[in-house]
Amino acid sequence: MYQVSAMPTFLVLLNGQELGRIRGADANGLENLIQQHLIQQHLPAAQAVKGELAATTEERTWLSRLVEDRKRVCTYTISIQLGPKCELIKMEWYEDEISQTLALSLIPSEEINAKSKLASGAVDEFAVAKRLLEWFHDSFFKWVNTPECGTCGKKCEGPGRGGTCTSAEVADAASRVEVYDCKNCNKEARFPRYNNPAKLLETRQGRCGEWANCFALCCRSMGLETRWVNDSLDHVWVEIYSTRLGRWVHCDPCENVIDTPLMYSKVGAWAGVVSCADDFNFHLQGWGKKHAYVLAVAIDHVRDVTWRYTLNHRAALSRRTACREPVLRNFLNKLNKRLADALPPERQQNLKLSYMRELVEFLSPKCQLRDGSQAQGHGRESGDAEWRLGRGELGIVKPTSDKVEGQPIRPTEGEKKAKCLTYVLPPYISALHECPLL
């Protein structure tokens, strides 16, 4: 009917009408076709600049920030030790044999692997990631809003102030330190924001940055192909590759959630004031985040994975004003080409094929609505309620009498003690929360 003469051929159809086609496994061609169509359909003509690939000063600054995480992870402490040579070392922390061995000495790896076998006897990466998340979240890592005082052990009250990192903190790649005055013993308490994941195996605490960083090391130690994912608003998580499923799988260690990429952007109906003394069985319907750019960084490639994390591609595209789409695509393509050139041909080919599959997956937002997922309505659980509310990440709360999909909120210890959740939710969680990167 569409006169396909080569395999694979990608046809882009709208209401049965052919808008374009790509013959052969041409990932860049497919990506261009998708984006060109979206831009022509949904953005003002002025933004649909074709063939103009020279980045402006603002775009250049933004693009360099975009890959900052990659650079940070690749080069931060290593640059202290090795100087300029570090440019050649990619995501080295997660590949480091000593760091991986240290992680494996803590992970119940044999038990996890034994319980994650397929009928064929092969270990299933998805099952490994699920069990690893459970262990990491429930038994290993701790969330920190404000640190405990190192002298008397009492929890400090915020807000902290910025301090200067000591040389020991810098040696473990602390990018900054928060300093608190303990109201109990009047001593100073420090909360260094370490970036070295091996150091985090020791401290076992932090906010989403530390959680994702240490969890990524644990994933690599277990042999999972791993990406670090940054949402350009303020959250980070991890993706692992499942050979069985033939796709990348979302993993959020802070929340102990796997394969639920839409939980960040999903919102429900406004439910009014919430007040509850005894029963905490609320249901949350996602964080209400409005993503613009979500980037996934692996040791040998960087991908724009925004389309996995939002149902409304058109709205996401309209928020992407930091850089013209062709400039961003060109930049990422060239960056990936540079990284791929250093890889063996077999890996290059595998990467190309998995990228093709990923692009096809991005074509339909509904691909991300996973059957049987219990956590599509998962509001943020890490952090106390006030902090979550401040970030607008409590999702929309509904009483359980309404039939909604989702999971009950688990109150924090403070909330249980007070037996009360008595805050007024904002009428609609819509604003972009311009919090500093946590």
Interface contacts to Zn ion, rule CB under 5 A: 149, 151-152, 182, 184-185
Is-contact 411 382, C-beta < 8 A?
no
Task: Look at phi and psi of residue 435 and say left if phi exceeds 0, alpha if psi is from -120 to 50, else beta.
Answer: beta
Is-contact 343 300, C-beta < 8 A?
yes
CA angle centred on 121, ends 115 and 124, rounded to 5°: 55
Q: How many CB atoms lie within 10 A of CB 413?
A: 8
Q: Which of 96, 124, 231, 252 is catalytic?
A: 252
Q: Minimum CB separation from Zn ion for residue 207, in Å?
A: 21
Q: Minimum CB separation from Zn ion for residue 146, in Å?
A: 12
Cα distance between residue 390 and residue 157, in whole Å: 16
Q: How many CB atoms lie within 10 A of CB 371?
A: 4
Q: Minimum CB separation from Zn ion for residue 163, in Å?
A: 16
DSSP-derived secondary structure letter, 181: E
Q: Whose Cβ is closer to Zn ion: residue 64's or residue 184's?
A: 184
- Let me know if 235 is a catalytic residue: yes
Q: Whose Cβ is closer to Zn ion: residue 35's or residue 146's?
A: 146
- Which uninterrupted H or E stretch holds 79? helix 68-82
Q: Minimum CB separation from Zn ion for residue 153, in Å?
A: 7
DSSP H helices, 305-391, are: 313-319, 325-341, 345-363, 385-390
The encoded tokens of residue 267 equal 């919102």
Q: What is the DSSP string of 274-310?
A: ---SS---EEE-------S--EEE-SS-EEE-GGGS-
- Give whole-number Cα distances, 41 to 33, 54, 266, 358, in Å: 12, 23, 24, 22
Cα distance between residue 103 and residue 116, in whole Å: 19
Q: Which of 74, 156, 208, 323 is catalytic?
A: 208
Cα distance between residue 303 and residue 358, in whole Å: 10
Q: Whose Cβ is closer to Zn ion: residue 177's or residue 359's?
A: 177
Q: Whose Cβ is closer to Zn ion: residue 74's or residue 182's?
A: 182
Q: Minimum CB separation from Zn ion for residue 165, in Å?
A: 21
Q: Minimum CB separation from Zn ion for residue 152, in Å?
A: 3
Q: Is 230 exposed, middle or buried (0-12, 13-18, 19+ CB in 10 A)?
A: buried
Q: Whose Cβ is closer to Zn ion: residue 111's or residue 157's?
A: 157
Q: Whose Cβ is closer to Zn ion: residue 184's or residue 281's?
A: 184
Q: Whose Cβ is closer to Zn ion: residue 160's or residue 288's?
A: 160
DSSP-derived secondary structure letter, 140: I
Is-contact 408 399, C-beta < 8 A?
no
Peptide linkage before 159 cis (omega within 30 of 0): yes
Q: Which of 69, 172, 235, 323 is catalytic?
A: 235
Cα distance between residue 372 and residue 223, in whole Å: 27
- Let me know if 208 is a catalytic residue: yes
- Let me know if 42 is a catalytic residue: no
Q: Minimum CB separation from Zn ion for residue 180, in Å?
A: 9
3-state secondary structure of 424: coil
Q: Whose Cβ is closer to Zn ion: residue 149's or residue 375's?
A: 149
Q: Minimum CB separation from Zn ion for residue 420, in Å?
A: 28
3-state secondary structure of 13: strand
Just list the catalytic residues: 208, 235, 252
